Amino acid sequence: MAIDNHCSRENYYPDHKVLNDDVHGHVKLDLYTFDMIDTVQFQRLRDLKQLGASYFIFTGGSHNRFEHSIGVSHLAGVLIERFQRDQPELRITNNEVKCVKLAGLCHDLGHGPYSHVFDNQVMPRARPGLDWSHEQASEMMLEYLIDDNNVDIERDEVNLIKDLIAGTPRSKSQYDERCFLFDIVANKRNSVDVDKFDYIERDAQNLGLRTSYDTKRLLMYSRVVNNEICYHHKEVYNLYEMFHTRYSLFKRIYTHRVAEAVELMLTDAMIYAGITSAVNNPEEYLHLTDDILRVIERSKANELAKSRSIMKRLRTRDLYKFVDEFLLPPELASHINKNTITEAEIVSYQSDNDNLTEDDVIVKWVKINYAMKDRNPVDSIRFYSKFNNQESFTIPKQQVSFMIPQQFEEVAVRVFTRDVHRITAVQKAFRRLLKHIVPNSSDAEPHAALTLPNDYTEILLTKRRRSLSSNSADSNEIVKKWHDQSENNGN
């Protein structure tokens, strides 16, 4: 992302800087956004991978929350400035435009190391019962940014920015007629917002994936009707495509089995390192980024030995292993829950002499949906027609296509092990438990493609020994060549 700083007297954009973004092209950002960008609190986002642990699997996923946040600010500005220009009856003020742009810019200030790994896995395990989210941390870091850098901004502007990030106004009476403003950055009504517009397009592009939905059409064919952002009726399938693309990214990338194994290792390493106390102190939280893993690895402290050991395994690709998966049928959802399938329950179904312990097993529940749990988000979107853009309506899915899914959320139970030697024993124990829970259901039949051969553990260990032996031989050969070259040069 290159910055073009116009400094000449003939400056066409005296109140802007122009950035060349790899997704959105040349974008203009107001100078007041750089009051936020050029701070240590915002620059911290350069050290937070947008895709978290997925970067360990997908080499293209190296982009950071820094550029995503700038992209969201840009798209938020594009949308609200078009409303301001095309719908003057809305009386959108320049102050509201400013706050919407800054909300887009600052919405991810509070993410922790490896993004959602920290708030979805580390914090619930390390600080159970604590009411904490990265959105709350974003508010904390925003206040710290403003105070630490003496940013010239009014208190009512700060409060509005916080509410726009949260997606709901705290003073409802004050914004009864401005609810559409809260649909732009974090839409709680139907989940269509510029945050999704940017991360779906940015993630797909960096990963080399093609998408079939068009963000630019949604930005263009939208307007405010009855205090709500609505879309042209011909964009209904485009919106379904957006939610399907998001689902596909979750299915293929964000919840990739090996990426989740890495997430579990990162979670263990961070919990053993005891880093979560920093969430209450913005000055400490400022330094809590992906770099914390390098801090752990460099440390010689005895109390970090366990975390260092996990990091050594991660660096040498000695990962926790995915064992098995059960895709939960909807009719069994009321029968099977997190209390039914646990590490302790799986261990209780082990064979004699397996010697499994609860620490050998990890159970992870994975939910993937269209962004509104088990509901169809398009049912909550309102549309206008080319014949009347002053009235809005919903479009039932049967008027769009009979190929649209009937179900909008799936739940999978995944099992992992920390010890490769235990993988076969854990899988057999898990399948015995499933057979006990749902003895007469064909849905509980073992997944043939995931069934491990009896000698699978030995196969894995043999492959690893060969890999280590090969690496060692290569290293010795390199050292020998270097040594021979040095002697020849000396002669």
Selected catalytic residue, list 134, 256, 421, 483: 134
Q: What are phi and psi for residue 343, nearest 5 degrees?
A: -60, -40
Is 353 buried (19+), middle (13-18) or exposed (0-12) by CB count in 10 A? exposed
Spatial CA neighbour of 457 closest among 346, 328, 375, 360: 360
Task: Give percent helix, percent strand, percent coil of the chain, each to the nearest 5.
Answer: 55, 10, 35
Q: What span, in angstroms and rounded, lies between the C-alpha atoms of 482 and 210?
A: 45
Q: What span, in angstroms and rounded, lies between the C-alpha atoms of 395 and 401?
A: 11
Q: What span, in angstroms and rounded, lies between the C-alpha atoms of 184 and 169?
A: 13
Instruction: Check: CB of residue 381 under 8 Å from CB of residue 239.
Output: yes
Q: How many CA atoms lie within 13 A of 298 on its CB side?
A: 5
**Is 63 annotated in the active site?**
no
Place of tokens 């269509």: 192
- H helix or E strand, kind and range, residue 464: helix 456-490
193: tokens are 């917002």
Q: With the CA atoms of 192, 407, 368 and 404 taken in that order, what torsion angle do they form, in degrees rounded to the nearest 10?
A: -50
Instruction: Check: CB of residue 119 under 8 Å from CB of residue 138.
Output: no
Instruction: Check: CB of residue 352 under 8 Å from CB of residue 429.
Output: no
Amino acid, single-letter form, for residue 435? K
Contacts of 65 (CB under 8 A, 6+ apart): 45, 48, 49, 50, 108, 111, 115
Taking CA 279 as the corner, what is the angle to CA 274 and CA 284, rounded to the nearest 5 degrees?
85
263: tokens are 């997430």
- H helix or E strand, kind and range, residue 349: none
Q: Which residues pair with 70 in a beta bridge?
A: none
Q: What span, in angstroms and rounded, lies between the C-alpha atoms of 144 and 137?
A: 10
DSSP H stretches of helix in 107-227: 116-117, 123-126, 134-149, 155-166, 194-207, 215-220
314: tokens are 């991660």
152: tokens are 């010239």
Q: Is 286 helix (H, G, I), strand (E, B) or coil?
A: coil
Strands 361-369 and 409-417, bridge-based pairing: antiparallel
Strands 25-30 and 321-328, bridge-based pairing: unpaired
Residues with catalytic annotation?
134
